[in-house]
Structure 1
Amino acid sequence: MPEPDETRDETIKRLEAQAEALRARTATTPQDYGVKAAGYGYRLLGVLLGGLFVGIAIGAGADALLRTAPWGMICGVLVGFVVSVWMAVRSAQRMSEEATREWGPPKDLPPDDEED
């Protein structure tokens, strides 16, 4: 009976090294969702403030042209606020759908073992 070229311990070490190399090659690095989530937040803030400022500008323009101060500004602020909230809700829905497609369904947080 011929002797094997390597002993059993050497074979196990070689296989463990190959398995570790395979794990390192196939391991996925976790994505940093915080940066993308912050971007979503800034986008919503931009939509809210942008709608409000556009409403103020339109109201101020109406006041200057029609000489109806302060009613144009008041109506512009109110209309701008309503439109910006409506746009923010629509944007949030689209961002939520996009995040669900990219990241999968939301996962529950693990239970907190600390009692308050």
Structure 2
Amino acid sequence: MLPISHLELAIGFGLVLIGMWGLLSHRNILRMIISFGLVDTGVHIVLVATGYITGATAPILDEAMQQGSAPLRMVDPIPSALVVTAIVIGFSVTAVMLAYAIRLYKAKGTLAIDAFTESKW
């Protein structure tokens, strides 16, 4: 079994839980967008923590890493690369949500979800 960092996993899952609580308990759209950002950040931390091995080195093959146990002593770069892409996508989704919240505020003058329940699509 590969030793992964349990502190980062706990922090990531904690952020996901706080964000989910915020999504389910608040009725303000802006607070829901912030909660969505917390969930997004927590998932990123969990993904990076799964690819990290405590005490391992960067995945650069050199003379010292040419031995047979090299994969056990290297950090997996795939989760980190995927998280970088997910961060960019998360920023763009947050920007779209904020732009939509601005449009809703201009239309109704409030960001409370209760004001939008009678809207007809």
TM over 0.5: no
TM-score range for the pair, normalised by the shorter chain length:
0.3 to 0.5
Q: Which has the larger radius of gyration?
A: 1
More helix by share: 1
TM-score, normalised via structure 2 length: 0.41
TM-score, normalised via structure 1 length: 0.42
